[in-house]
């Protein structure tokens, strides 16, 4: 027995003796480093509650004589034999998850069991559970279950947890009509018909299955939480709106009262409308009521590729125009409209011809939308950027179909691509490659036929719309004005019989998402909203981006230059000038502020003074001389699979308040945090596809804090773009050599203290490498915070003690190890009950301030605590009772069975700070256990 195990055993004996002396009916030996249960426990025949979870115990024999036991928790151990539990006929609560159990026969006569947890064992036969008809709670995740028939007789079940199994058939659940909570995520379920009878359900989790149809849920009118993310559902039934809970676009269970819909192929209503929430979804359904719907019949086709690849020539061919050998390059975006006949439907096709000059690549992302058709046009004479553009499409167009056109084959007939390789790597291509010569017309008819076929199959084209909505769309598409106010938009709607304001709002948002119009709100009110012709807006943006006035001033945009930029004739070839003249685009001075605000909304610029803005994309290319000494700085690296040009400029915009004046260039920037005298040097390397960060500060805490600000900002930008990244930490003596941040964390979790760098044949201490890095945020997964959320449940008569508790926890708060929510944070107008319960559900640790007033409070004891205890039983929360004033809380079940802190009520300490120090230590121990859980997931 090693020192740690021996100390644990002695601690267990101490607790047993105290329990014997006080004749207590509850004992906790959990989370001690025990390998066996001391036989002395048999001297406690009065025990009713025993907790031995999180140890290394394998033998339950010492418990066989404890026949008064009602509650037993031996989860997270190494138990395989349940035979010793056979005599414990009074058990009503039994937790056995995370063990080595394979045989359940010893449980079949424990007829009083009401709560049973068995997940993560080695069980194959669940038939012994058939006789446990008093069960109302059953927890069986990760249990290799495919057959539910052993559970059909458990008709008193209220909560049933079966995630991470192999379930296909839900038939045996139809008889469990008292179920209120049912978790079936990560299974193989297709058909929900068997759930129709479960009308008491409040919480239903179904994410990551193979479900197509939600109609069987129509009878489940009591649902408050419904998770259907990551399935194959394309129709959102209108009856779900009657549940009165919000739609949330996340990819898994959020804990909130909502309908979780993420990662489904939604068609009706379209995702764009679902994302706008319940009011918009209802407005969409209302618009279709009692009307003969028609398909949208409008599609956006985006043409991208290098400059002079022939995109504009290809559009001309598609529109039936003659080839122009002197066709000039497009600067910005040119939008042209055509019409296709698709099996009798007249479909309007909006061709977005994107200029290929590098200076515009970062700006393009704001107009590259999902649910479009992408045409990548390559120049067969010089193409070496094929994957660069395909990664652009993959990032911004998501699953949009892609057609690859190899142009100018008349000049290089031998050029081709590795088609099988590209199709496998970028499935959206679907082997759609075309060799074309716009000059001779070769291959254009074949390409046009395939494009028509793709247009015909686009879900967005077939989207059902009411005739009234289509009329408004047509009015906006053909209007001669470049922009209108929201009030004018409403007048257009009313003229076409769309009089409901919710429908007007939803329609506008949908048309904005499709790029048919652009909606811009300068303020929160609709009355300061403008609706624009996309051509008018894009030309304004690109005129500014391409203007020599801004370039010559190293990226500074002056108000006085807008007149020149937006009013002077474009310096472009006659053919494009004529085509743009036909569009009759103009920019009155009264709209200059509006146009600049659009640049700010796109995060293309930030304000640096009165009537002055900086456009990072137009900064000088050359690196600035930086005199700041970064010796001893923390070196950090973001390594990208694909690094869009927009990432660093967006970072500059978002962190502009920290930029050191004159220390920024096209690919780099220096930041300064005045409050801590911290400096950061950030530089992007396009060829290496990385962003390097160096942070220097007066101390490790300031250094970690400033680096974490930069990391979190970059993580949010990357997450928005859906970019794959790997974060790396530099070796201290070799700043150009990096090791993956996650590898360091994984090694720490495994108990390793050093890492071997094979290339260097050297070992480094992991904690030294992480010294300047904020390890409270596991950065590999964006948004996955390692800060532990704490909820304080207390009676308001004890607010004084709550404030004292907050002071005692302040060191943990300052280190960002915990985040504590208090009910005074509820703002006016919020629904206080929903707000409280929402934070309670998101908490990892629930602290209950035990006192007579707490016990007397129906809300604290019967609602907050009851919900927390339910989650604690599932292993989802830790409850810490803190004795602030003397009370008989230990006599209450099940809360009284949980080890409270401190040893006596805080008010009974001669020095109250001593009591709060014990509380601080106890919370710290619980915090360590949660960090270990985080590290294992």
pLDDT, one tens digit per residue, over 488-510 is 999 999 999 999 998 998 898 88
Percent of the chain with pLDDT over 70: 89
Residue with tokens 């028509």: 452
Which of 324-333, 597-606, 844-853 shows the lowest mean pLDDT across its residues? 324-333
pLDDT of residue 924: 80
For the residues 368-379, what does the mean pLDDT come to?
89
On the question of pLDDT at 871 being above 80, the answer is: no
- The whole-number pLDDT of residue 1 equals 52
Structure confidence by residue, pLDDT tens digits, 148-190: 999 999 999 999 999 999 999 999 999 999 999 999 999 999 9
pLDDT of amino acid 810 = 76
Quickly name the fold that domain 619-769 has: TATA-Binding Protein (3.30.310)
pLDDT beyond 70 at 364: no
Per-residue confidence (pLDDT) for residue 60, from 0 to 100: 96
Predicted confidence at residue 838, as pLDDT, reads 63
Q: Does position 333 have pLDDT exceeding 50, yes or no? A: yes
Residue 893 scores a pLDDT above 80: no
Give one DSSP letter per residue of 41-63, joined into a string.
Answer: GGG-TT--EEE--SS-----GGG
**At which residue do the structure tokens 């894009």 appear?**
538
CATH class for the region spanning 297-457: alpha beta
Q: Cα dist. 336→319, 348, 521, 901 in Å? A: 9, 10, 26, 71
Name the E strands within 79-180: 93-95, 115-117, 137-139, 159-161
Give the pLDDT band of residue 354 (cuts 50, 70, 90).
confident
CB 170 within 8 A of CB 192: yes
What would the mean pLDDT of 652-667 be, rounded to a whole number?
Answer: 92
pLDDT for res 600: 87
What digits encode the pLDDT tens for the residues 56-74? 999 999 999 999 999 999 9
Q: How many Å apart are CA 854 and CA 797, to the nearest integer?
A: 8
Joined together, the tokens standing for residue 265 give 């192929």
The domain 464-616 is classified under which CATH number: 1.10.10.10, 3.20.20.80, 1.25.40.20, 1.10.3720.10? 1.10.10.10
User: Average of pLDDT values for 692-699?
Assistant: 88
Q: Which tokens hold the place of 700?
A: 């490790």
pLDDT value for 153: 96
Residue 724: predicted pLDDT: 84
> In the predicted model, is pLDDT for residue 13 greater than 70?
yes
pLDDT on residue 935: 56
- Do 619-769 and 464-616 fall under one CATH topology? no
**Per-residue model confidence (pLDDT) at position 817:** 74
Query: CA-CA distance, 851 to 310, in Å (whole number)?
Result: 78
pLDDT score of 753: 84
CA 267: distance to chain centroid? 22
pLDDT in the model for residue 448: 93
pLDDT at 669: 96
pLDDT at 576 over 50: no
Q: Where are the domains of the chain?
A: 297-457, 464-616, 619-769, 788-936
447-471 pLDDT per residue, tens: 999 999 999 999 889 988 899 999 9
Query: Are 557 and 615 in contact, with CB atoms under 8 Å apart?
Result: yes
Least confident of 151-160, 633-642, 793-802, 861-870: 861-870
Which pLDDT score is estimated for 830? 34
Q: Is the pLDDT reported for residue 415 higher than 90?
A: no
pLDDT digits (tens, 9 = 90+) for 237-290: 999 999 999 999 887 666 678 899 999 999 899 888 998 899 999 999 999 888
Per the model's pLDDT, the better-predicted residue between 537 and 128 turns out to be 128
What confidence tier does 909 reach under pLDDT thresholds 50, 70, 90?
Answer: confident
Say if residue 525's pLDDT is above 50.
Answer: no
The dotted CATH code for 788-936 is 3.40.50.10140
Which of 8-22, 144-158, 311-325, 560-574 holds the top average pLDDT? 144-158
Model's pTM, two decimal places?
0.70
Q: What is the pLDDT averaged over residues 222-248?
A: 94
pLDDT at 240: 96
Work out the end-to-end distance of the chain between its first and last CA atoms, rounded to an integer number of angstroms. 30
Name the nearest CA neighbour of 850 among 912, 910, 820, 805.
805
Most confident of 421-435, 782-796, 799-813: 421-435
Residue 361's pLDDT is what?
63
**Average pLDDT for 852-880:** 76
> Is the preceding peptide bond at 902 cis, omega within 30 degrees of 0?
yes
Contacts of 346 (CB under 8 A, 6+ apart): 297, 339, 340
Tens digits of residue pLDDT in 577-634: 444 444 556 788 888 888 888 888 888 999 998 899 999 999 999 999 998 888 888 8
> Which ranges constitute the DSSP H helices of 725-765?
741-749
- 377 falls in which pLDDT band (50, 70, 90)? very high
Q: What is the mean pLDDT of residues 546-568?
A: 90
pLDDT of amino acid 918: 83
Residue 823 confidence (pLDDT) above 90: no
> Which secondary-structure segment (H or E) carries 671?
strand 668-673
Give the pLDDT mean for 534-556.
Answer: 88
> Whole-angstrom Cα distance, residue 216 to residue 64?
47
């Amino acid at each position: 027995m090693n020192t740690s195990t021996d100390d644990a055993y002695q601690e267990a004996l101490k607790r047993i003796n105290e329990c014997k002396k006080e004749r207590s009916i509850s004992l906790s030996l959990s989370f001690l480093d025990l390998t066996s249960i001391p036989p002395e426990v048999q001297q406690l025949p009065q025990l009713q509650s025993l907790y031995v979870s999180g140890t290394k115990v394998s033998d339950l024999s010492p418990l066989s004589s404890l026949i008064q036991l009602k509650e037993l928790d031996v989860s997270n151990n190494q138990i395989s034999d349940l035979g010793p539990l056979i005599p414990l006929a009074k058990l009503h609560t039994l937790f056995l998850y995370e063990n080595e159990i394979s045989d359940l026969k010893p449980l079949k006569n424990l007829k009083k069991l009401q709560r049973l947890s068995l997940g993560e064992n080695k069980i194959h036969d669940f038939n012994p559970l058939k006789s446990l008809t008093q069960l109302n709670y059953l927890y069986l995740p990760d249990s290799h279950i495919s057959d539910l028939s052993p559970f059909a007789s458990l008709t008193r079940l209220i909560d049933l947890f079966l995630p991470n199994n192999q379930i296909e058939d839900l038939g045996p659940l139809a008889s469990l009509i008292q179920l209120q909570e049912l978790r079936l995520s990560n299974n193989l379920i297709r058909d929900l018909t068997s759930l129709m009878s479960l009308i008491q359900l409040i919480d239903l989790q179904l994410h990551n299955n193979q479900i197509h149809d939600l109609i069987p849920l129509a009878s489940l009118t009591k649902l408050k939480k419904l998770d259907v993310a990551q399935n194959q559902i394309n129709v959102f039934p209108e009856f779900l709106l009657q549940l009165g809970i919000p739609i949330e676009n996340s990819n898994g269970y959020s804990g909130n009262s909502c309908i979780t819909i993420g990662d489904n192929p939604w068609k009706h209503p379209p995702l764009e409308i679902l994302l706008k929430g319940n009011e918009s979804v209802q407005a969409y359904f209302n618009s279709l009521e009692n009307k003969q719907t028609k398909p949208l019949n409008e599609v956006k086709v985006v043409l991208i590729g290098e400059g002079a690849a022939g995109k504009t020539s290809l559009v001309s061919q598609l529109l039936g125009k003659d080839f122009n050998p002197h066709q000039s390059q497009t600067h910005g975006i040119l939008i042209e409209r055509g019409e296709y006949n698709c099996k009798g439907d007249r479909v309007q096709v909006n061709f977005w011809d994107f200029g290929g000059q590098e200076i515009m690549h970062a700006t393009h992302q704001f107009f590259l939308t999902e649910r479009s058709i992408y045409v990548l046009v390559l120049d067969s004479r010089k193409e070496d950027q094929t994957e660069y553009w395909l990664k652009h499409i993959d990032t911004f167009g998501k699953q949009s179909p892609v057609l690859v056109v190899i142009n100018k084959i008349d000049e290089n007939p031998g050029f081709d691509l590795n088609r099988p390789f590209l199709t496998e790597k970028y499935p959206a291509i679907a082997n759609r490659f075309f060799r074309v010569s716009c000059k001779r017309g070769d291959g254009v008819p074949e390409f046009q036929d395939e494009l028509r076929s793709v247009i015909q199959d686009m879900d967005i084209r077939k989207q059902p719309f009411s005739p009234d909505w289509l009329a408004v769309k047509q009015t906006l598409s053909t209007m001669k004005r470049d922009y209108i106010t929201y009030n004018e938009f409403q007048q257009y709607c009313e003229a076409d019989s769309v009089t409901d304001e919710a429908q007007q709002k939803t329609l506008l948002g949908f048309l904005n998402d499709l790029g048919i119009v652009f909606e811009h709100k300068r303020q929160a009110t609709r009355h300061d909203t403008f609706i624009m012709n996309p051509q008018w807006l894009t030309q304004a943006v690109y005129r500014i981006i391409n203007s020599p006035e801004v370039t010559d001033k190293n990226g500074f945009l002056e108000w006085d230059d807008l007149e020149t930029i937006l009013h002077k004739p474009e310096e472009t070839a006659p053919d494009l000038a004529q085509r743009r003249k036909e569009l009759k685009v103009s920019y009155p001075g009264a709209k200059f502020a509006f146009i600049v605000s659009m640049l700010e909304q796109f995060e293309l610029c930030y304000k640096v003074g009165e009537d002055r803005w900086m456009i990072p994309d137009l900064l000088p290319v050359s690196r600035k001389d930086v005199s700041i000494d970064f010796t001893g700085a923390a070196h950090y690296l973001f390594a990208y699979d694909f690094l869009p040009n927009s990432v660093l400029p967006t970072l500059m915009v978002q962190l502009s308040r920290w930029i050191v004046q004159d220390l920024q260039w096209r690919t780099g920037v220096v930041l300064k945090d005045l409050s801590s005298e911290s400096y950061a040097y950030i530089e992007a390397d396009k060829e290496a596809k990385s962003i390097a960060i160096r942070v220097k500060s007066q101390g490790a805490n300031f250094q970690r804090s400033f680096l974490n600000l930069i990391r979190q900002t970059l993580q949010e930008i990357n997450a928005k773009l859906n970019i794959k990244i790997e974060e790396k930490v530099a070796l201290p003596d070799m700043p150009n050599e990096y090791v993956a941040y996650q590898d360091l964390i994984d090694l720490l979790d495994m108990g390793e203290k050093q890492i071997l760098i094979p290339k260097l044949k050297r070992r480094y201490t992991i904690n030294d490498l992480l010294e300047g890095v904020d390890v409270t945020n596991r950065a590999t997964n964006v948004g996955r915070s390692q800060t532990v959320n704490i909820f304080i449940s207390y009676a308001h008569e004890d607010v004084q003690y709550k404030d004292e508790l907050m002071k005692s926890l302040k060191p943990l708060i300052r280190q960002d190890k915990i985040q504590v929510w208090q009910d005074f944070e509820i703002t006016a107008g919020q629904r206080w009950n929903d707000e409280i319960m929402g934070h309670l559900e998101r908490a990892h640790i629930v602290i209950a301030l035990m006192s007579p007033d707490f016990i007397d409070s129906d809300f604290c004891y019967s609602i907050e605590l009851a919900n927390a205890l339910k989650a604690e039983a599932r292993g989802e929360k830790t409850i810490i009772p803190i004795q602030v004033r003397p009370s008989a809380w230990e006599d209450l079940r099940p809360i009284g069975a949980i080890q409270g802190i401190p040893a006596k009520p805080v008010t009974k300490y001669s020095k109250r700070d001593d009591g709060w120090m014990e509380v601080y230590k106890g919370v710290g121990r619980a915090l360590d256990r949660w960090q270990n859980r985080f590290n294992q997931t």
